[in-house]
Amino acid sequence: MEQGLRLVLSRVEGLPEVTEVVVFPDRVELCSAGEWLSFPFAEMAEWPRPAWFWRLVSRLGRRRRLLAVGERDWFHPSADRFFRFFTSPRVVVYMPDEPAETSYGDSWFRRVQVVMLQGGFNTWDLG
């Protein structure tokens, strides 16, 4: 069984009644109103031009750089740190609250980034 990073978020914008999220290297899944929704990163990524060519090359196992799949803002208390994904509708997930002494490297925010980086995906930094 595939393992993902499972979180109970402080809040979510863009979807109703989200109770949890699971981040995998190739997608993010959210439980919204009792239904699991999957958002593959490759479908929301900002591909370099020509996009059709780089998608094909990526399917063959080659990628020239990390692909942006959203935006992130980390310069806040833990429960206000967020990822805004390039989905339709736009989904914004806010991290769980953490003790103030939690280091950045151990934070939920950084752990989400690490999982996404494993799949070759990243987000633009707003902070």
Q: Which residues pair with 13 in a beta bridge?
A: 92
127 residues of the chain, pLDDT tens digit each: 478 999 999 999 999 999 999 999 999 999 999 999 999 998 888 766 666 666 676 666 666 678 889 999 988 888 999 999 999 889 999 999 999 899 989 999 999 999 999 998 999 888 7
Preceding amide of 50 cis, omega within 30? yes
Q: What is the pTM for the complete model shown?
A: 0.85
Distance between CA atoms of 94 and 85, rounded to whole angstroms? Answer: 11
